A and B are shown apart, each in its own frame.
Chain A
Amino acid sequence: MTVDTPVISCRNVWKLFGPSPRQYLAAMPQGLSYESIQADGYIAGVKDVSLDVSRGEMLVIMGLSGSGKSTLVRCFSRLHEITGGEIIVEGQNIMELDDKALIDMRRQKMGMVFQSFGLLPHRTVLDNVAFPLEMRGQDKHDRRERALEVIKLVGLEGREEYFPRELSGGQQQRVGIARSLAIEPDIWFLDEPFSALDPLIRREMQDEFLRLQEMLGKTIVFITHDFDEALRLADRIAIMKEGAVEQCDTPDQIVLNPATPYVRKFTEEIDKARVVHARVLVKPLNGKAPEGDPFPAERTIHQLARQLVNDTRDEIPVADKNGTLLGAMNRQEALDVLLGTE
Chain B
Amino acid sequence: MSCWGQSDMANIATDMSDGSTGLSKTRIIQIMIAVAVLLTAAKPILPDFLIRLPEAWIPPMAVWMDAIFNFIIDDLKLAVLTRWIAEGPLEFMLDTTANLLFGKRRWPNFEPIPWTAIAATAAVIGYYLGGWRMALLAGGTFVWTALIGQWKIAMQTMSVLAVAAPMAFLIGLFLGIIAWKWAWFDRAIKPILSVLQTLPFFTYLLPAVIFFKVGPTAGAVATIIYAIPPMILMTTLGLKKVSPEVVEAGKMAGCSKWQMLRSVYIPAARTEILVGVNQVIMLCLAMVVLTAFIGMPGLGAKLLAMMGSFKLGRSFEIGVTIVLIAVMLDRMSKAWVIKLPEHFERGTPWWKRHGYALATVAAFVAFVLIAQVVQVADHITRQQSFTQGKELDNLIKGILAIDAIQAVTEWLRWFLNVWVLIPFRNALLWIPTSAFILGIVTLSYYLGGKRPAIYAAIFFSIVALSGWWDRSVITLYAVISAVIISTFIGIPLGIAASRSDKWSKRILLACDTAQTFPSFIYLIPAIMLFGVNDVAVVFSIVIFTTVPLTRYTIEGLRTVPAEMTEAADMSGATAKQKLMSVQLPLALPTMAVGFNQAIIFAFFMVIIAAFIGTQDLGQELQKTLAGTELGKNIVLGMNVSLMALTFDLTIMSWAEKRKKALGLG
Interface residues of A, Cβ cutoff 8 Å to B: 74, 77, 79, 103-104, 106-107, 110-112, 114-124, 131-132, 134-136, 160-163, 165-166, 176, 179-180, 183, 189
Known: A115-B245, A119-B249. A106 touches B346 (CB 8 A): no
From A106, A165, A189, contact of B254 by CB (8 A): A106
Could you jot down 20 A-B contacts, CB within 8 Å? A79-B248, A103-B255, A106-B251, A106-B253, A107-B254, A115-B245, A118-B248, A120-B249, A120-B264, A120-B268, A121-B270, A122-B267, A122-B268, A134-B263, A135-B253, A135-B259, A161-B344, A163-B341, A165-B340, A180-B252
Q: Verify B254–A163 contact, CB threshold 8 A.
A: no
The interface on chain B, measured as residues whose beta carbon lies within 8 A of the other chain's beta carbons, has a size of: 23
Question: What total count of A-B pairs have CB within 8 Å?
Answer: 80
Nearest B residue to A148 by beta-carbon distance?
A: B346
Q: Is the CB of B245 within 8 A of A118?
A: yes
- Given A122-B341, A124-B343, A161-B344, A114:B254 Cβ within 8 A: no
Question: Which of A103, A121, A131 is within 8 Å of B256, CB to CB?
Answer: A103
Bound Cα distance from A116 to B244, whole angstroms: 10
Whether the Cβ atoms of A163 and B270 lie closer than 8 Å is no
Q: How many angstroms between the C-alpha atoms of A9 and B243 in the bound complex?
A: 30
Contacts of B346 in A (CB 8 A): 160-161
Nearest CB in chain A: distance from B155 CB, A: 33
Q: Which residues of B contact A180 (CB under 8 A)?
A: 252
Whether A112 pairs with B263 at a CB distance below 8 angstroms is: no
Interface centre among B254, B255, B267, B341 (most CB of A within 10 A): B254
Q: How far is the CB of B410 from chain A (nearest CB, A)?
A: 61
Alpha-carbon gap, A324 to B372, bound state (A): 94
Specify the chain A residue showing the minimal Cβ separation from B264: A120
Q: Which chain A residues border B268 with CB–CB below 8 Å?
A: 120-122
User: Could you tell me the distance in whole angstroms from the C-beta of B251 to the nearest C-beta in chain A?
Assistant: 6
Contacts of A114 in B (CB 8 A): 245, 248-249
Q: A132-B252, A160-B346, A180-B252 are in contact. List 18 more A-B contacts (CB 8 A).
A: A77-B252, A79-B252, A107-B254, A111-B252, A112-B252, A114-B245, A118-B246, A120-B264, A122-B270, A132-B253, A135-B253, A135-B255, A136-B254, A163-B340, A179-B249, A179-B253, A183-B254, A189-B252
- Interface 1/0 per residue, B259-274 and A, CB below 8 Å: 1000110011010000
Chain A residues, CB < 8 A from B263: 120, 131, 134-135
Query: CA of A121 to CA of B254 in the docked complex: distance in angstroms?
Result: 18
Q: Does B563 contact A (CB under 8 A)?
A: no
A131 to B259, CA, bound (A): 11
CA distance A107 to B263 in the complex (A): 16
User: Across the interface, do B252 and A110 meet the contact criterion of CB distance under 8 Å?
Assistant: yes
Judging by beta carbons under 8 Å apart, are B252 and A120 in contact? Answer: no
B75 touches A (CB below 8 Å): no
A189 to B253, CA, bound (A): 12
**Is the CB of B403 closer than 8 A to any CB of chain A?**
no
In the bound complex, residues from chain B placing their C-beta under 8 Å from that of A136 are 254
- Contact, CB under 8 Å: A161 / B345: yes
Q: Complex formed: what's the CA distance from A110 to B248 in Å?
A: 12
Task: Return the chain B residue nearest A112 by Cβ.
Answer: B252
Complex A-B, nearest 6 residue pairs according to Cβ-Cβ distance, in ascending order: A107-B254, A118-B249, A118-B245, A132-B253, A161-B343, A106-B254
Q: Chain B residues near A74: list those with CB within 8 A.
A: 248
Instruction: Please pick, from A131, A134, A163, the residue contacting B343 in the complex, using a CB distance under 8 A.
Output: A163
Q: A161-B343, A161-B344, A161-B346 are in contact. Are A118 and B255 (CB under 8 A)?
A: no
Interface centre among B252, B259, B263, B341 (most CB of A within 10 A): B252
Q: CA A131 – CA B268 in complex, angstroms? A: 14
Residue among A103, A110, A118 with most chain B CB within 10 A = A118
Q: Which A residues lie within 8 Å of B254 (CB)?
A: 103-104, 106-107, 132, 135-136, 183
Choose among A119, A135, A160 the residue with the greatest number of B CB atoms under 10 Å from its CB. A135
